[in-house]
Structure 1
Amino acid sequence: MTKKPFLFIPVRYLIVFLTFICTSVCYIERVGFSIAYTVAADAAAVTQSSKGSILSTFYYGYACSQVPGGYAAQKIGGRRVLLLSFLLWSLTCFLVPLDPNRVTVLVVARLLVGVAQGFIFPSIHTVLAQWVPPHERSRSVSLTTSGMYLGAALGMLLLPSLVKFKGPQSVFVAEAALGAVWSLLWFKYSSDPKATASGAGEQLLPTNKKIDARKPAPKTVTIPWVKIMTNLPVWAIVVNNFTFHYALYVLMNWLPTYFELGLQLSLHDMGSSKMMPYLNMFLFSNIGGVVADYLITRRIMSVTRTRKFLNTMGFVVASLALAVIPSFRTSGGAVFCSSVALGFLALGRAGFAVNHMDIAPRYAGIVMGVSNTAGTLAGIVGVDLTGKLLEAAKVADADLSSPESWKAVFFIPGLLCLFSSLIFLLFSTGERIFD
């Protein structure tokens, strides 16, 4: 029986809210590790290249569990997989000491946290595909994913002070506590729907669906792996997911270093300004979701045109903002440019990121797993490559305060944004193509 914990709130809204908190806590953890480890590693005189290797370790584990996460969510339920993965990474954070000299321990711990968190987003998409009808899809997914950026903003605002006054290890304890609290809330208030919501509200969409969503789903679901892996609209999502996360993970993991070494600023002394890039992502992600649902339900644009319009606008503006970041040598200029870049990338998520559930609502977790694997590979490549670029720049320029040291770091994701937006324009669709 579907639980009704709050009679005045539809259950699907409570589910969306809990997934929003889920992504917030996950990104507090990711930003928190970057901040705490950067402080501990700098104190231990760890090289930038070595820092990049440790920071990218998370994404190896994350990449390994994306598709298995989607498969597990499909087979045993996203709600259960989500709870188990949250408990695993929270326990790991609680037990692991943050010592830059104990490299093996840190590598194993980050791999475990990456594997556990890799199950989370495919599970979330499976849960949302079950609960959220299509005419609420854009704003629901945008709200859920905007939790990532609110979590990153809160992490950037609060955790540097926690590190300063309580030490880097305190960040791990705080993150584990947040994970435990969310797990209790999810265990108490989440539930599975009596019937999938993927067909509800189809009459509000302006596109003609090729598949009758009201047909009952077969009891045994055979996942069309070959069709998924050879489908051009799926690959359009994959390419854009890669680019989005390349830019996001590079900025998330290296902005603290850019502020500290590139601009000679103290994160603690920067106050609330350092959270603005992620707060902007939170705002623009929700704006994108509301605008997308408005354009679709008012029949101003088809689903396909809406996705392409928002994706293109977001990625093109982000590309320009990324390219000019090194030209600004003040905290205000750097914060403004990174805020514009991340904000418009988040706007673009109303294009490619919701598209999983447009084309394959029944296999949303699987397609999300495939797509997010590409995004995770971007984290491995981008975070590690950035460390190597900075190490090479340090050898050439003696320090990292020169704008020249950072140009390649921001130019690469900017160029990727232009390329991926073109791919999405050419090959994406808002039509359902998987039954």
Structure 2
Amino acid sequence: MEYLVVVAAVVVLVFLVHANLERGVARRALPVLLAAFAVRMAVHVLVMRSGVIEYGGDNLGYEIRAMQIVEYWKSNGFQFVTSEDISTLSFVAVPCQVFAIIVYLCGGPAPLACTAVVALLACALCIVMYKFARLVGADDRASFLLLVVTAFMPAFLLHTSDTYKDGFNAFLVVTSIGLGTSIARRFDMRRLLMLVPLLWALWYVRPYMVFMCAVPLILGLMGLKKVFSLRGLFVSTVLLVSALLVFGGVYESTPVEVIQQQLEMGQAENVRSANGDGGSGVVFEDGGNPWSTLDAKLLYTVLSPFPWTQGGQMLQLGKIDVLIWYFLLYHAVRGARRLWCHDRVALLVLLSFVIPGTIVYATTMANMGLIFRQRIPIVMVTSVFAAVAWTKNPGDREQPVAEVVSRV
């Protein structure tokens, strides 16, 4: 049954490519994405589960939680299980629920099948990145290059080659920001409604990311220079707040309290100390204040691991990813300058996610290996700027990413 799930994932991938990309683009993108899917499955078998490297642990924890959900279903019937039902599901209910469905279908542990779903999500995100870049003014050549770079970015590839939640988080965040950018350019109630299930799912993956995605959307709507912008802002705010109040019921606290608790937990001195254990740990002389020495923390958050850094095997592999990131970051600055001249609303939406997100992550900075993984959504959104810089024909835009979401 596991192999049938893998085959089904490939079939869905082929459908997504042809349904969301023009014929010529689909013809070029399909081999790339099939290769990206195959590489992830190979890395899963030959690297992640072979013992070649010692990395991870939370991926195995998600599989255990998925098995617990299946047992809960057998006793209480099929339903969406939250932390009120199984306490260990806090902040990871959606990924574990997806894995539980696969485990249930396969009749037992199914890491290969679960990874196939994660790999499919990663490839779907590559399509979203292409559409996102086209939306903000990148031409076909630049957008396709971004698709290829995204598909094989080492950090993203590694964390979508097993049962991690990073692929879920990246897909939901980038798609939400893409839809928000589209709405900021032209208000569309259908796209706004599509944001509700995306943000709902994101709430059960990383709750604080819901707020980080909601802010760019609201700011983008405020930047609209149309008569109905205030109406759009009001409607979107009501919907987003309602979604948080309704779907935030998984936790005993209010949504704002949940975010505050997450932030305080990540900034706690004992947590940062624990995260700093190992070869890639970093200690800052901040006197226990997470907001102190913020300049040094930002430097590490954005640019580490540095080429000269000593550390373990995974840290050395991370240097390949960070060199690609340096390249993207350089071109992202050029792309941001171009957007400043041609599309300040899109620039506002993207920066209102990238800058606050980077600062918040900097206050929890304690481990270069961990931040290398956490900043994946920030790297993705920033990379859209790079595609704008690579563009030879600015203004050759394509319509929004909403079609991808509706078919995933």
Question: TM above 0.5, one fold?
Answer: no
Instruction: Determine which structure has greater relative contact order: mean sequence separation of CA pairs < 8 Å that are 6+ residues apart, divided by chain length.
Output: 1
> TM-score, length-normalised on structure 2?
0.26
> TM-score, length-normalised on structure 1?
0.24
